[in-house]
Amino acid sequence: MKFSLTWLKDHLETDASAQDISDALNRIGLEVEGLDDPAERLDGFCVAEVLTAQKHPDADKLQVLTVDTGEGDPLQVVCGAPNARAGMKGVLGLPGAVVPANGMELRKSAIRGVESNGMMCSVRELELGDEHDGIIELPADAPVGESFARYQGTSPVFDVAITPNRPDCMGVYGIARDLAAAGIGKLKRIAMPDFAESGESAPTIRTDDPEGCPAFYGRTITGVHNGASPDWLKQRLLSAGQKPISLIVDLTNYLMLAYGRPAHAYDLAKLDGAVVARRAKQGEQFTALNEKTYTLDDSMTVIADDQGVHDIAGIMGGLGSGCGPDTTDVLLEIAYFDPERIGTTGRKLGLASDARTRFERGVDPAFLDDGMDLLTGLIVELAGGTASAIARAGSPPTAPMVVAFDPALTQQLGGVTIAEDDQRRILTALDFAVSDDWQVTVPLRRHDIEGPADLVEEVVRIHGLDNIASVALPRAEGVARPTASREQQQERRLRRAAAARGLNEAVTWSFLPLSQAEHFAADGQHLWVLENPISEDMKAMQPSLIPGLLSAAKRNADRGTDSSRLFEIGRRYFRAKDGSSNEKPTLGIVLAGHRKARGWQNGKAQGFDAYDAKAEAMALLGEAGAPVQNLMVMGEAGAQFHPGQSGTLRLGPKNVLARFGALHPATLAAFDMDGPVMAVELFLDAIPVPKGKSGFARSAYAPPALQPVTRDFAFLFDADKPAADLLRAVKSADKQAITDARIFDVFAGQGVADGKVSIAVEVTLQPGEKSFTDDELKAVSDKIVAAAAKQDAELRG
């Protein structure tokens, strides 16, 4: 939230500097993200008077001005503004000044052969508004030669980050209240306007949706003049980053920014019949002030008349009933809307506004009448007109919370000693009512206060967060024990290993669109579906890490990336039968695009295949501590995978450690991706913990003293059987002598019977204390042939 020091001083009587106020805001928990002084950007711009204005000799649309700056001889300036004339006063940018709008540094130069010593400036060039048809015209009494920043009263601007639990500080007055409680000045009480009601009957309004709109107040003002806003109002709105529109609209924005109270003004001539807060009709359409059309449903609260919807309640008004230059009669609306309803509607429509930001966090339900009178008084004073009585439909929440408070909790929870009288003073300054026995009545606007701990926070932050001493946690003598659990060690190890293999880590949302979550949910799994999601695209907790990685890979591809090698370590979420949460640690991988770019050696670019996915799975399972030598390759990777190009890695027939392979074309179509795309999921919770081991410490590497021996074998094997079964049998033939076995050739064709395939296996034998003898090598070979025969493999002659 942005506001100027001048605006703050409308509500806070203080002599503190902008920097002192900034420090105080940080001290009381209102983080200042920026403190900007516009006067610095206006350095080099001064009030100047045009003495003469003559036509440029070589340009029809330019004039040559002589300008008095109050110092020395008049300066010659070339100007193209149509309103430049002798006798007017404006703003002159001198050589060396930098134009705020475009960063251009002004210099003495020749324009069409005529020397120009600076530039007469427009409102847009100084970022004071959008007007650019001519140069700024100042009043006749403007002091020539004075700095324009000083003349205008330019004020420093604060940019404060308001946390979602502090809607009471989403107005300048609320921030002033906190500063006053912290001793930075004195809070000025709100001066209520004095105006006479016309005696006209109140407008016909009602609320047909008391749950979404418990209170709906309205008043008409007739005979207004909706012109331009005065300078003081424009300056305050501009300091907040708001664009001035028209007087009526600007005053509603001013009320919201000054007091945190959104309001809306309708052109009364554009309304027909009673104005009603009701539920939208299913499929009803509405064109908002942003000129976009929205389709509503019956869960949304709207403001409507006999013609249709004129306002998405608490979020944005309609284009058809907004106030314009011709507006003479207005209907003012101030209401209290259910925060949850506002948030849900805004997320469904993807529609954000300043009003929504305040309503969904909770506005002050006790400020409806005062807010209406403040807005009415400003309009009557500045735009004229006569006001009717207030019409009230429904009533806002009025029952305040009372919290039993023990001042000793401040020391216990906050870690700082504050005298009871000071605690009472702080709470009272924040408008809490404190009885003698410390029963604290909470202001209705403080929706964040739920118990004594919240009151401790209020006392401590106003006392000053930087007044809390930093105290180190107690630590036992000696060397600290490792604090990382085995699961944390495992994830760190996997993260390093995946990165070392050339994979890039991604961090995606744990939420998915419901359709994607359902696509990746296995049979019988119950999804976690959120009742109050961030948006409709983040409604379900992820049952798999693959959807998030697929979305990331698609974004990469859409931006021209030809290869994505992504991994993520996260959680899969399920709902157990008893309704409890079920989280499963998982590592996901997606390989999309080119595995190897095109080149003179390999020709066309090569894509990833299922063997690449399997290699990643095996390597990372090994790093995770899984006994990869005992893994079985089986099918049933899931309906999301291509049935002929995928598989699972298991310890036994039921314990699935990973699934890998090519994704099914239907899965790729659901994510609007071109294939093939490979994916891997490692189920870290399924990896057994080695007995007697709590970590991943390795023994020192001790290379064998003797050289290994290799022997090659060629077996005839059934073509429809997994070669991994044969390889596993060969490795287990003699676990002491055999250290490795790998397939180096596969052949089918002449000399090999139909239905068979020739598989060549290289076996590595490692001698121990002495070299193998011929008899020992033959004995091992016989064991290998016998083990292969149990898998129906026959040694080729």
Q: Which residues are annotated as a binding site for Mg(2+)?
A: 448, 454, 457-458
The rounded distance, in Å, linking the Cα atoms of 453 and 451 is 6
CA distances from 746 to 529, 611, 661, 713 (A): 49, 15, 21, 12
Dihedral-angle region of residue 8 (phi above 0 means left; psi in -120 to 50 means alpha; beta otherwise): alpha
The Cα-based distances of 6 to 11, 13, 713 in angstroms read 9, 11, 89
- Annotated binding residues, as ranges? 448, 454, 457-458
Contact of 757 with 748, CB cutoff 8 Å: yes
Closest to 447 in 3D by CA, of 347, 342, 360, 354: 360
CA distance 797 to 784: 15
Structure tokens, 783: 């064991």
584: tokens are: 């499963």
Q: In 419-468, which ranges are E strands?
A: 433-434, 439-441
Residues 517, 523, 524, CA angle at the centre, nearest 5°? Answer: 100
Written as six digits, the tokens of 567 are 């991994």
Phi, psi of 396 (to 5 degrees): -80, 170
At which residue do the structure tokens 């109270």 appear? 261
The DSSP secondary-structure symbol of 232 reads H
CA distance 128 to 83: 18
Q: Helix, strand, or coil here: 639?
A: coil
Give yes or no for a contact between 286 and 274, defined as CB atoms under 8 angstroms apart: no
Match 């008049």 to its residue by tokens.
74
Give φ, ψ of 566 to 5 degrees. -115, 145
Contact 372, 220 (CB under 8 A): no
Q: Are residues 264 and 316 in contact, defined by beta-carbon separation less than 8 angstroms? A: no
Q: Give me the torsion for CA of 536, 541, 546, 550, rounded to 10°.
A: 20
Spatial CB neighbours of 589, under 8 Å, sequence gap ≥ 6: 498, 503, 549, 565, 566, 567, 613, 616, 617, 620, 678, 679, 680, 681
- DSSP bridge pairs for 664: none
For 293, residues 6+ apart whose C-beta sits below 8 A from its C-beta are 285, 286, 287
Quick one: 235 exposed, middle or buried, by C-beta within 10 A (0-12, 13-18, 19+)? buried
Q: Which two tokens stand for residue 376?
A: 């009415």
Alpha-carbon span 746 to 757, nearest angstrom? 7
Q: Which residues partner with 606 through β-bridges?
A: 596
- Residue 261: alpha-carbon gap to chain centroid: 25
Reading the block at residue 412, the tokens are 């216990």
Give whole-number Cα distances, 611 to 496, 500, 591, 662, in Å. Answer: 22, 19, 11, 9
Strands 186-187, 157-161: pairing is unpaired
Number of helices and strands in the chain (H, E):
20, 41
